[in-house]
Structure 1
Amino acid sequence: MTSPDAMTERVLELFRTGLRVDDIDVDTPLLDYGLDSVQSAEIIIELERAFGVEISDAEAATLHTARDVIECVTAEVGRRTGAGA
């Protein structure tokens, strides 16, 4: 199982790479970093591959900050492994 810190770092790494920025503040809206719909779709696909989860388009539309994404991925991984509520 991936630790929460490792998941957080992997999510942030995907955003730093996808958005070509050096750092991501978890509470800054991703749109402020220039996230567009193509980048968003690519990052969601990478997240799904990296963590073996599925994030619906409707759910993805509600993810506005890196913190939102981290919480979503953590919950999805928990559900997949039976550790989530």
Structure 2
Amino acid sequence: MSIIEKLNKDFESRVRLGIMSVLAVNNWVDFLEMKEHLGVTDGNLASHITALENKKYIEVKKEFVGRKTKTSYKATKAGKEAFVQHINALEKLLK
């Protein structure tokens, strides 16, 4: 398998790469914090989060804080493994 084939298409988007990077070094991150880290719109972030959730790369937790909902995200074990493989392939490609 070539290095290019080891790159994961699910992480080609800069937003998805950013989401996984944030979740790789943090346990749970809420929607507003993620949005601030990445500088993206609500809709843009939501669509990429949904795509990663559908692939089982992230876990979503919804809870109430007072009367407001709070949505938080965490990378799953499978998500972390896939992300590390992608980053390793990128590093090999750059060498």
What TM bracket, shorter-length normalisation?
Answer: 0.3 to 0.5
How high is the TM-score relative to the length of structure 1? Answer: 0.36
Between 1 and 2, higher relative CO (CA 8 Å, sep ≥ 6) is seen in 2
How high is the TM-score relative to the length of structure 2? Answer: 0.33
Q: Between Structure 1 and Structure 2, whose CA radius of gyration is higher?
A: 2
